[in-house]
Chain A
Amino acid sequence: MGAVDLIRAGEPTPSAWRFRLHELAWRDLVEALRTDPLPFCGLWCDGADMHALFILRDAPLAVTLVLEDGRYPALSPAREVSTLYERAAYDLYGAEAMWARDVRPLLDHEVWPCSTPLAGQPGVSEARTGLVAFQPSEKFVAATGPVDGWGPASGGVAPPWHVAFTQSGGVIGLAESQSGYAHRGLALRWRGSRAEEACRLSGRLVAGQSVAHQTALCMAVENACGHVVGEKASQARVALLEMERVLHHLYTLADMAERAQAPLVAAHCMMLRETMLEQISPVTGSRLLMDCCRPGGVHLPQAEQMGALCDSLARMGLAGHPALQELWDSFPGLAARLTGLGVTRTEDLARVGLEGPVARAAGQDCDTRRLLGLYDGLWRYTAGRQNGSAADRAQLLLDEIAESLTLLAKLAVHLGDAAPGRETLSLPDAEGMAMVEGPWGRVAYWVWLHQGRLAQVFCHNPAAAALLVFEEAIKGQPVEDLPLLACSLGVNAAALDG
């Protein structure tokens, strides 16, 4: 039996897309997944059950297993990226993954006042106070060459994380990350929150991807309620998602250019972004587009201006795009610096399930927008270069900026001078799931509603898979290119740590 059949043979649940398995069936599923390519989205614990989410033809397919004595068979032997979810579930709940590939701490480095803080009965902790030591894997310990490190405080602006690496002659051999520095306990903060509070938190899980996170959370809540937001509010959400993509890609390109010693190109990207922000912030009320999307619709101080804003951004952005492209192509040394840097291999991307622009720049055909009803009649994917290097990723971001601006031009016509708003939701006891295409790929939320509040919230974003791809792609690269490569692959500690 294939993985899908094994899942569907499980006990039905109130959600048509989720099934409950017994432990032996779960073990069979793990075996089947070794050869079955069913895309894996994430694994979470709620204290009593483990839940795994898969994506079947862009629709969710989930499976649940009750924890037996706090244990469950690991999925990581069949899905490498599951190691990060399994380590998080152990640190937060004490849920033990049997036959796991990696059991090192991910979030809990014994500085918390208790262990397993989300478990019904948290454990005791040593509550250490000094700097956290790097905990290498056995493979890393066995590697040769002097060991060096980068982060968590590098003087830059990105959320904190640490990378240890072996090097020889300025070239990286093996790299391993240590995370947890940016862990704020989102899962606990979401637990028992009102929908508005949960939305505010999701908008601050990772800056630059706020609309994606807030929209996915709101849609998950609305799906649980059986509520469909109005057409104009839906269009406003798409407009916000695409504005965020344009702003995010300009920021990322600026970061890449700066790190590749092309400050003029970086300044050009930031200038264009800032010019757009001057128009965006009065209409949306937030430069980083936080809190614009709310459960039931959108919240925009000048909602009636959204159509005009889309039109203006599209005109200005598309007019300025050729100059940006030309500057990017012609700036001395930039193309040479990025070409061949951090090439992602198709098998690595497939192995860890990384999607989004990193995978698209390596020739993979993946974009959540394709099947989202929100984008009906609006979106058309235009493929660019696909060799998987930092240069290809940069070009893809440039292409996607133009694509999103074209989409905004279409949305301007649809929105006109409508003033999209929001409707009041009444929250039943139910679960819901939704996903959108964020700037770095798929963002999915799975929520359980109980007594008018959110009992549990699980979030999937591309950060876990991006970290594993980074650790592969950095091998053989110059040490000084580490931050540039992390930036071009979308590694983000805030998104990873939660």
Chain B
Amino acid sequence: MRLIRAVLSVAFRQSMTTMKPAGRGGPLMLFHIETGGCGGCGMELRALASAPYDLGGAGFGLAGTPAGADMLLVSGPLTRMMAPVLQAAWEAMPDPKGIICLGDCALDGGVFGENYATLGGLERHVTIDLRLPGCPPTPADVLAGLASLLGGGVQESMPRSDTGGSL
């Protein structure tokens, strides 16, 4: 099954290593999708979006719909039931777009490796634009990782030269 082509345009990819793309007013919008984990990564994201952290001040916002998002923020192992939901969310996002994996489960399945119900993590299936390991990563870790998108160094996890993967 062809699932996701996680491709960032070259222009956007370059811009992420410096500043947000020119002409894009406002924060970089993230659409969070929990694909079947314990909810711990989501709880830490919720903490990050609250006081005393300042997700908005760091240049990020949480989108209510994929159509309003720049990046897909995925947590949890990918259950087979959530795979088409993830794909639908991805397809509803405007270009350019990218994928952030929040937590070990989203990356490689973590404690929930592949079985009859889950496909494990996304790294074997698609190109990941930002990796935020941990079970769960702390809000500070997540914020530091996200900040690298706007002004930090190039991630070891930046998109591969191919055009994504398939399941």
What is A's interface to B at a CB cutoff of 8 Å?
A: 107, 109, 111-114, 117, 122, 129-132, 152-153, 155-160, 180-185, 188-189, 200-201, 204-208, 210, 251, 254-255, 266-267, 270-271, 273-274, 287-288, 290, 492, 494, 497
Contacts and interface: CB of A to CB of B under 8 A. Distances in A.
Interface in B68-122: 76-77, 79-86, 88-89, 111-112, 115-118
B43 A159 contact: no
A152 B85 contact: yes
B112 A184 contact: yes
6 contacts: A153-B85, A184-B37, A184-B117, A270-B51, A290-B40, A494-B38
A205 B38 contact: yes
Contacts of A113: 116
B15 interface: no
Given A112-B116, A189-B111, A494-B38, 6 more contacts: A111-B81, A117-B115, A152-B82, A155-B62, A155-B64, A157-B45
B159 interface: no
A185 B1 contact: no
In this complex, the member of B31, B39, B85, B88 whose beta carbon has the largest number of chain A beta carbons within 10 angstroms is B39
B16 to A, nearest CB: 22
Contacts of B47: 270, 273-274
Contact of B111 (A180, A200, A251, A497): A200
B138 A160 contact: no
Contacts of B147: none
B43 A153 contact: no
A276 to B, nearest CB: 12
B53 to A, nearest CB: 8
Interface string B34-52: 1111111011111100111
A241 B111 CA distance: 23
Interface of B: 1, 31-40, 42-47, 50-52, 62-66, 76-77, 79-86, 88-89, 111-112, 115-118, 135-136, 138
Contacts of B82: 152, 160, 181
A189 B63 CA distance: 34
Nearest to A125: B116
A474 to B, nearest CB: 21
The secondary structure that dominates the B interface is loop
Given A180-B81, A184-B112, A184-B117, A159 B38 contact: yes
B79 A184 contact: yes
Given A160-B34, A184-B79, A185-B118, A267 B50 contact: yes
Given A159-B34, A188-B116, A130 B84 contact: yes
B85 A254 contact: no
A290 B135 contact: yes
B65 A155 contact: yes
A201 B63 CA distance: 31
B76 A159 contact: yes
B92 to A, nearest CB: 10
A283 B140 CA distance: 18
Contacts of B40: 204, 207-208, 210, 288, 290
A492 B39 contact: yes
A158 B111 contact: no
A200 B115 CA distance: 18
Contact of A157 (B39, B84, B86): B39
Contacts of A160: 33-36, 82, 85
Contacts of A207: 38-40, 42-43, 136
A208 B50 contact: no
A361 B162 CA distance: 56
A181 B64 contact: no
A159 B88 CA distance: 17
A188 B43 CA distance: 26
Given A184-B36, A185-B115, A274-B47, A158 B79 contact: no
A158 B35 CA distance: 10
Contacts of A251: 43, 46
Contact of A112 (B35, B51, B117): B117
A180 B84 CA distance: 14
A112 B46 CA distance: 31
Contacts of A210: 40
A183 B36 contact: yes
